[in-house]
Amino acid sequence: MNYTITKNKIKKIFGIGHSKLNQTYKKLGLNCKNKFNKITNKQNNKIKKAIKFFTYDKMLKIKYKKMIEFYLKLKNYKGIRHAFHRPVRGQRTHTNARTVGRQRNIFILKKKEIKHGGKKKN
């Protein structure tokens, strides 16, 4: 693997953003504003090794899914909000995030009707 890593390529990886990238640059003693034409192979290899220690991409997505499943099992506030596809962290729902929740609730009601033989319960 003799390809050079650029900041934009690294930022496209799920879980690695601007702040994590700048932290790794500071740890390695590299200049954050350095142009990538001036990076040597040693510096490139150091960056690759430093990125391997982060949890990113598939592993991070799996971690998020496990956390959501845990909240659903606990049946706490966060789990209920995740189950109904509503904002979890206190965002307002009066003006925002209304249509998604409405569509999800209709879908859930239709599933319940199908389970009861297609008849609505009053």
Q: Tell me phi and psi for residue 92, to 5 degrees.
A: -75, 150
**Pairwise pLDDT comparison (30 vs 113), residue with the higher score:** 30
pLDDT of residue 2 exceeding 90, the answer is no
| Domain ranges across the chain | 7-51, 58-115
Q: State which amino acid sits at residue 72.
A: L
Of 14, 11, 35, residue with least CA distance to 24? 11
pLDDT of residue 106: 55
The separation between CA 28 and the C-alpha centre of its own chain, rounded to angstroms, equals 26
**Pairwise pLDDT comparison (37 vs 69), residue with the higher score:** 69
Of 59, 66, 60, residue with least CA distance to 82? 66
How far apart CA 85 and CA 97 sit, in angstroms, is: 9
Query: Each residue of 12-48: pLDDT tens digit?
Result: 788 888 888 888 888 888 777 765 556 777 877 888 8
Mean local confidence (pLDDT), 100-111? 58
